[in-house]
Structure 1
Amino acid sequence: MASVKVKFRPSTIEGKTGALYFQVIHRRIVRSQKTKYKIYPDEWNARTARITLSPSRPDRHSILSRYRHEIKQDLFRLSECIANLTRKGLPYSTDDLLRFYRKRSENDTLTGFMTSLICHLKEQGRIRTGETYQCALNSFMRFRNGEEIILDEMNQETIEAYEAYLKKERLSLNTISFYMRILRAVYNRAVEKELTTQRFPFRHVYTGIEKTIKRAIPQPIIRQIKDKELLAGSSVDYARDMFLFSFYTRGMSFVDMAYLKKKDLHNGILTYRRKKTGQQLSIKWEQCMQEIIEKYPPNPTEYLLPIITSTDEDERLQYRNSLTLVNRKLKILSVFVRSPHPLSMYVARHSWASIAKSKNIPLSIISEGMGHDSETTTQIYLASLDTTIIDRANYLILNDL
């Protein structure tokens, strides 16, 4: 079994800091691994092989305490590398061990590994997924008070403590599950890359999906929203138009609305791919949709709706700012029409499906109002439908407004 010791190499220049290094011995072969830690001779206790806080340098106590913590992590990492190689049952040299250690050290902190995954997702064009990964990482680091954690330290105790923290923050079970499932996916990916050992730390935390209260509103409220007199050109009027456009287009999500292109509308058919799933959908263009387009000046960009309207600004930022504005103004509209639920763009999506169900339109067409426990099931249903049947369902709903 290999052994590891922390050693101090003083500087050849008097009064300068020396360097700490790890001495690794395996099968009587000795190798050294450099570290980034620079300390003065009186900050090292050779007997205990530990950093000591020098009374003559109180200004360095903070950084030395951090060094202690990081060295502890490094030693833990090295011990895990030794255990990993030993479990494989194959002979390895001291050089093999250090190569394995250096490979894992490059990306074995949670932040380092997740950041590399996020960059990769963005390169693939999966920007939204990258944003959700960043959101989960930010949440976990708030729990840690900004203190970094290496992947090998992500054990059951840590994850259960994180779950308790999220519950104390009064987050919903679905939000807690959302964070846990992302972190679990990241952890499993790290295991695949042999950056850590599988310890199943998520075994006893909630990673399911709790059924939520439906947020659909009835058709009379949709009619009130449509007929409500609002100041033309106001932000509330704009929010109302975006809400109705989503409803008119079978509950199209706002991100898909934002990226609709003028060329997607051809011969009376609007065809687009969902950003979330890549699913291609076709919708018959109705007069009510055209009326919304005609209310606004022609968009100077390639996009159809007045959401992304500038070629000089970041498109993603324009979409997100617009979504925030629309949802905020829809809350005001909720009061105007006395909606039983606060309005949001999601309400438009769910309402179309629920109203379609109330009209006895087959579940195979609306896939339980897009509210199946499994989104995969929804995609399977939608993929196999004749779009003319869906267009007929949409016509029946819009005709009653």
Structure 2
Amino acid sequence: MASVKAKFRPSSIDGKEGSIYYQVIHNRVVRHIRTDYRIFESEWNGKLSMIDIPTMLPAERKHHLRLIVQQVNRDVGRLESVIKELSCKDSCSTDAIISRFREISELQSFYSFMESVIAQLRRLNRERTSETYSAALSSFMRFRRNKDVQLDDMDADLMMEYEAWLKMKSVSLNTISFYMRILRAAYNRAVEKGLTVQKHPFKHVYTGMDKTPKRAIHFKDIKHIKELNLSGKPHWELARDMFLFSFYTRGMSFIDMAYLKKSDLKNGILSYRRHKTGQQLHIKWESCMEAIVAQYAAGCSEDYLLPILKLPSNNLRSQYKSTMFRINKYLKEIARLCGITTPLTMYVSRHSWASIAKSKNIPISVISEGMGHDSEETTRIYLASLDGSVIDKANSIILKDL
């Protein structure tokens, strides 16, 4: 019968931490498995082959050692399970035990599992989603100081510590929710695959939607931007025209604008499918849209309607992102010229179209359909930050009747 035991190897340098390793023996064949767990010789009980936590240690060191104890116990338990599994199959050997242990450990590493999900998203050409998963994983890894965590160790306490760390870094509630919801989705995938047991680690952290500052601007601001004289500033003019084109097309998102093909415009109707939801939308072609397209026709590629994706490239996504970055930079300068205090980006045009449509008493159902939202609830989120002056005006009307 095979056996496994945790062992300690002191450092060859005085005063330095030594390392813990696992000794696996089967049929007198001995193999060792290295670990990254480091402790001092005074913290190891050689007779009992276990970590000893001296009472005089600082609380932070005690906490660190308790975490290592949990990890060592988990690893030894996993090795013992592997031994039972292979013994039942009559294929037990020290090399087989170590190979199977490493295979399971790799599968149950949260970082490795997240990386596998991100790789799958990329294979499915879901670049935007893969980028959001990468952003969430990077944030979580910074919190963990790049120290991996097993799926079995993902619990409510860990996620509350992560939330507290994010708040300490002055991360907004919506960004915290963004990271938590992505990590939760990945964790739930692992549960579905049977890699861990559901412990509901996200039940005590924020995963809602906090009310965001108003992103929409007034109709008079849109007119000011349109009438702005930007002659001699072609980069600024392009930024302004892309902003207006988005507004003209019911707040079309920049990624959808980037991928518009000339073939999408037929018989006075612009038809496109939203990248985010896959919903098919149809927009009546207006003269203001035509004016912008005609102005940049010479600078467009053979296929695309707008001058956003111009260079032949295997990575259109990176080209789209760099163009959006430049346009948003110039939009902020345009806002300064117009005296607009709202941080101006391409996304503001979408919020503005929805807000202005509502101010003209267009039903939410119509606004929702026009923007290609999956539900009216999404549209209501856009409209939740109603201009304070409108609310004040409504209040004045009510008070006049008193």
TM-score (norm 2): 0.74
| AA at the equivalent of 1:173 | L
| AA at the equivalent of 2:360 | K
SS at match of 1:290: helix
1:324 is aligned to 2:325: yes
Q: How does 1:35-54 map to 2 (within 5 A)?
A: 35=33, 47=47, 49=49
Alignment gaps of 5+ in structure 1: 9-18, 52-68, 86-90, 382-401
- 2:238 equivalent in structure 1: 238
CA distance in 2, matches of 1:336, 1:193: 55
CA distance in 1, matches of 2:163, 2:133: 17
CA distance in 1, matches of 2:360, 2:262: 32
- 1:291 equivalent in structure 2: 291
Q: CA deviation at 1:80?
A: 6.0
SS at match of 2:270: strand
Deviations 1:30-75 (A, max 9, x none): 998763569xxxx999745479xxxxxxxxxxxxxxxxx9897464
SS at match of 2:236: helix
Q: How does 1:71-82 map to 2 (within 5 A)?
A: 73=71, 75-79=73-77
- 2:120 equivalent in structure 1: 120
Distance 1:82 1:369, change over 3 A: farther
Is residue 357–residue 367 contact of structure 2 (8 Å, CA) maintained in 1? yes
SS at match of 1:137: helix
RMSD over aligned Cα atoms: 3.7
- 1:280 equivalent in structure 2: 280
CA distance in 1, matches of 2:314, 2:295: 23
- 1:57 equivalent in structure 2: none
Is residue 118–residue 130 contact of structure 1 (8 Å, CA) maintained in 2? yes
**Greater mean alpha carbon deviation, residues 138-147 or residues 71-80:** 71-80
1:260 is aligned to 2:260: yes
- 1:141 equivalent in structure 2: 141
Q: CA deviation at 1:325?
A: 0.9
Is residue 258–residue 308 contact of structure 1 (8 Å, CA) maintained in 2? yes
SS at match of 2:271: strand
Distance 1:102 1:312, change over 3 A: closer
Is residue 239–residue 327 contact of structure 1 (8 Å, CA) maintained in 2? yes
CA distance in 2, matches of 1:228, 1:193: 56
Alignment gaps of 5+ in structure 2: 9-19, 52-66, 380-402
| AA at the equivalent of 1:294 | A
**Greater mean alpha carbon deviation, residues 29-38 or residues 135-144:** 29-38
| AA at the equivalent of 1:163 | E
SS at match of 2:375: helix
1:212 is aligned to 2:212: yes
Is residue 353–residue 369 contact of structure 1 (8 Å, CA) maintained in 2? no
1:226 is aligned to 2:226: yes
Distance 1:225 1:120, change over 3 A: same
Distance 1:270 1:368, change over 3 A: closer
Deviations 1:328-349 (A, max 9, x none): 1111111111124121111100
Distance 1:281 1:32, change over 3 A: farther
Deviations 1:281-313 (A, max 9, x none): 111111111111122224224221111100046
CA distance in 2, matches of 1:153, 1:326: 44
Q: How does 1:376-391 map to 2 (within 5 A)?
A: 376-378=374-376
- 1:188 equivalent in structure 2: 188
SS at match of 1:106: helix
Equivalenced residues, count: 341
| AA at the equivalent of 2:194 | E
- 2:339 equivalent in structure 1: 338
**Greater mean alpha carbon deviation, residues 331-340 or residues 240-249:** 331-340
Is residue 251–residue 349 contact of structure 2 (8 Å, CA) maintained in 1? yes
- 2:351 equivalent in structure 1: 350
- 1:366 equivalent in structure 2: 367
CA distance in 2, matches of 1:292, 1:305: 9
**Greater mean alpha carbon deviation, residues 190-199 or residues 234-243:** 190-199
Is residue 277–residue 374 contact of structure 2 (8 Å, CA) maintained in 1? no
Q: Percent identity?
A: 49
Is residue 357–residue 368 contact of structure 1 (8 Å, CA) maintained in 2? no
Is residue 77–residue 152 contact of structure 1 (8 Å, CA) maintained in 2? no
| AA at the equivalent of 1:302 | D
Is residue 110–residue 149 contact of structure 1 (8 Å, CA) maintained in 2? yes
- 2:168 equivalent in structure 1: 168
CA distance in 2, matches of 1:291, 1:75: 70
| AA at the equivalent of 1:189 | R
Q: CA deviation at 1:23?
A: 3.5
